[in-house]
Amino acid sequence: MTTVLQIKSSLFGERGQSSQLADAFTAAYQAAHSGTRLIVRDLAASPVPHLTAEGFGGFGAEQQERTPAQRAAAELSDALIAEIRAADVVLIGLPMYNFGIPSALKAWFDHIARAGVTFRYTENGPAGLLTGKRVVVFATRGGVYAGTPHDTQTGYVRDILRFLGMTDVQFVYAEGLALGEASQRKALAEAGAAIARIAQAERLAA
Ligand SMILES: Cc1cc2nc3c(=O)[nH]c(=O)nc-3n(C[C@H](O)[C@H](O)[C@H](O)COP(=O)(O)O)c2cc1C
């Protein structure tokens, strides 16, 4: 059985464009793979707190030595890591907010990047431990940035995923969503077509 983990990071929860694109992908994926298990982590509905020095310190501490705040941070981190470890396919909703990734998503990355757990340092440099996963990212933006130096998201998200061991990463973009109705319609139609293409390839491979 395939497990899909869907990360929602839109402020608007399931109404967010990035959430809706990921939902469309999930539906297509489930149609192609019977018995898919879906885990949804909605970072707007249940925000992951900012990582603090105390919480970070607790990640490396022995369980019995952790303060209550460290225990809470480590338990949340353990739960988030268990979800992504279990996933064969990871779907990430990636809205652009104020020229960057949503702070909720950054907080999630901060809680799943754990030395000795999801990556380790070797004599050849860091090695990611979350391997063998396929990732599809749904990037939604009011403006148009893909392929320009103003796209602060694609490089960062690819880098952190690679650092954690995920190298099979595809981006679906819907840009120009704030540039009028025609622009929005076109962007969503193109993103929908990209999702259908990927889903069709899945069906052929299944
Ligand atoms: C708080 C906020 C900040 C935004 N900042 C940007 C921005 O810097 N650049 C941009 O192109 N669009 C920006 N937008 C537009 C969003 O990228 C666009 O609405 C997109 O659909 C968000 O994805 P979502 O619908 O999944 O939340 C912003 C929207 C909000 C609500």
Q: Can you give the pLDDT of all 206 residues of the chain as single tens digits?
A: 899 999 999 999 999 999 999 999 999 999 888 899 999 999 999 999 999 999 999 999 999 999 999 999 999 999 999 999 999 999 999 999 999 999 999 999 999 999 999 999 999 999 999 999 999 999 999 999 999 999 999 999 999 999 999 999 999 999 999 999 999 999 999 999 999 998 877 766 66
Which pLDDT score is estimated for 173?
98
Q: Which of 12, 43, 96, 150 to mutate to test the pocket of ligand 1 (most atoms within 8 A of CB)?
A: 96
8 close to ligand 1 (CB < 6 Angstrom): no
- Measured distance CA(171)–CA(25) in Å, rounded: 12
Look at residue 203 in the predicted model and tell me its pLDDT. 67
Note the pTM of the prediction, 2 decimals: 0.96
Quick one: which of 109, 93, 90, 92 has its CA closest to 4?
90
Query: What is the separation of C-alpha 192 from the centre of its chain, rounded to a whole number of angstroms?
Result: 19
Q: Is the separation of the CB atoms in 33 and 206 below 8 Å?
A: yes
Ligand 1 close to Cβ of residue 177 (< 6 A)? yes
Residues 6+ apart with CB under 8 A from 186: 176
Pick from 131, 44, 136: nearest CA to 90: 136
43/97 Cα distance (integer angstroms): 14
Ligand 1 atom with least separation from CA of 143: 11
